[in-house]
Amino acid sequence: MATSASANLSKVVKQHYMNLPQGDKVQVMYVWIDGSGEGLRCKTRTLDSEPTTIRDVPEWNFDGSSTYQSEGSNSDMYLIPAAMFRDPFRKDPNKLVLCEVFNHNRKPAATNLRHRCKQIMSMVMNQQPWFGMEQEYTLLGTDGRPFGWPSNGFRGPQGPHYCGVGADKAFGRDIVEAHYRACLYAGVQICGTNAEVMPAQWEFQIGPSEGISVGDHLWMARFILHRVCEDFGVVATLDPKPIPGNWNGAGCHTNFSTKEMRQDGGLKAIEESIERLGKRHSYHIRDYDPKGGLDNARRLTGDNETSNIKNFSASVADRCASIRIPRAVSYDKKGYFEDRRPSANCDPYVVSEALIRTCLLKEEGDEPTDYSK
C-alpha cells in the first residue's frame, strides 16, 4: 500500500522537539471550511495566554484566493472563532478553534453555512432539537486503493467486515483507535465507532448534540480524522461511493428528535415529521450532499442498504428506507428517527437546518428533480 512521504519521517526525532517547554505561550490552530464546501484548512498563531472561552480567541485572516474563496485582487478573508477544543496533537494548553469565514464586506462566505444554520436553530431551541450523526468514511492509500486491499483486484464478499475483528477482516484499526482517543481528548462529542460493511470502511458517531453543536463537533471530528491519517500516511475519503459496483457506499445517517418526540406518545410527532419529510423529498436530496444530489445519485440506488434516490420511503427497522424508525422507538412510542439519505460528504449544518425547516418550521413546497441523468 502506498503511504505519504511525510509518514516516513522519524516521529522519534519530532518528539524531541515536541517535548520542549513552550513557556507561557499558547499555540492556537484555526480551522475552517474552504471554498469547496468539503475541504478543511488550518493555520496556527501564538497567543500570550491560554484562552478560556471562545471570546478570548482573536479574529484572524487568510488568503482566500488560495482556498477557492476570493479573487487574488481582493483576497483577504476573515476567520471568526466559533467553537474551541483542546488540541490532541500539541496537547494542553494548546487549542483547536473552528472558525466561520467572512468576506471583505463582513458577510458570510458562500460555504459558511454555519452562520445561517445558527440563526435557524435559535428559532427552535425551546423544542430542544437533538441530533446524532453517523459519519462513514473509507481509508485509502495515497495511490487511491482502499487500505488493505490487493494492489490488483478486490477483496472477497463484504459480509464478514461489518463490526469484524481479525487481521483478515478489519483494516486500519490503529487509525480508528487513535482518532477516537484524540476526539475524546479534544472534547468532541464522539459516542462510538465500528467497522463498516465494505472492507477498509469505518464509522464514528457524534452526539447526541443539541442545535448548532452537532455541526461544530462533526466538522472538528473530521479535521482530527484527516490529521490523524496524515500521521499514518493514509487518506480518509468521504466519497459517498468510493468503489463502484456491489460495494456499500458511505453515508452520514442522521438521527433526529425533539423534546416532544422524546416524551410519552412522541411517536405521533415522529410520524407527523416523516409525513412532512416525504412531501419535501427532493428538497432534502438537493441539500444532502455538496453536489446538489449528484454525489448521492451514485450511492442511493436502492441496493447495498440504501433507498432509491427517486422515491421517499419510511419503515420500522428498515435500512433500505429513506427514514428508519428504530424498532425500540416503535415499541416505546417515543424517541427519534433516522434519516438515511445524507451522504458521507454532507455539510452537517445544511442537513440539520433542513430537518429543522421541514419538521419544526413546517416549511412547504418542493420541486421534483430527475437524478437519473
Q: Please, are residues 246 and 305 in contact by the beta-carbon 8 Å criterion?
A: no
- Domains of the chain, by residue range, sit at 10-110, 121-359
User: Residue 163: its pLDDT value, please?
Assistant: 95
Q: What is the pLDDT of residue 334?
A: 98
According to CATH, the superfamily of the domain at 121-359 is Glutamine synthetase/guanido kinase, catalytic domain (3.30.590.10)
* Residue 169 near residue 158 (C-beta atoms within 8 A): no
Identify which of 343, 338, 253 has the alpha carbon closest to the alpha carbon of residue 293: 343
What region does 215 belong to: left with phi over 0, alpha with psi -120 to 50, or beta? alpha
Give the whole-angstrom CA distance, residue 41 versus residue 39. Answer: 7
Q: What pTM value is reported for the model?
A: 0.96
- The length of the chain is 373
Backbone angles phi, psi at 348, to 5 degrees: -60, -25
Closest CA to 29 of 101, 91, 78, 106: 91
CA distance 174 to 222: 17
CATH number, domain 10-110: 3.10.20.70
> In this structure, which amino acid lies at residue 328?
A
pLDDT of residue 47: 98
pLDDT along the chain (373 residues), means of 10: 82 94 97 97 98 98 93 85 98 98 94 97 98 98 89 76 92 97 98 95 97 98 98 96 92 98 98 97 96 95 93 93 97 98 98 98 77 52
The span from the CA of 65 to the CA of 73, in Å, is 8
Instruction: Identify which of 110, 99, 31, 29 has the alpha carbon closest to the alpha carbon of residue 69.
Output: 110
Match 428559532 to its residue by C-alpha cell: 123
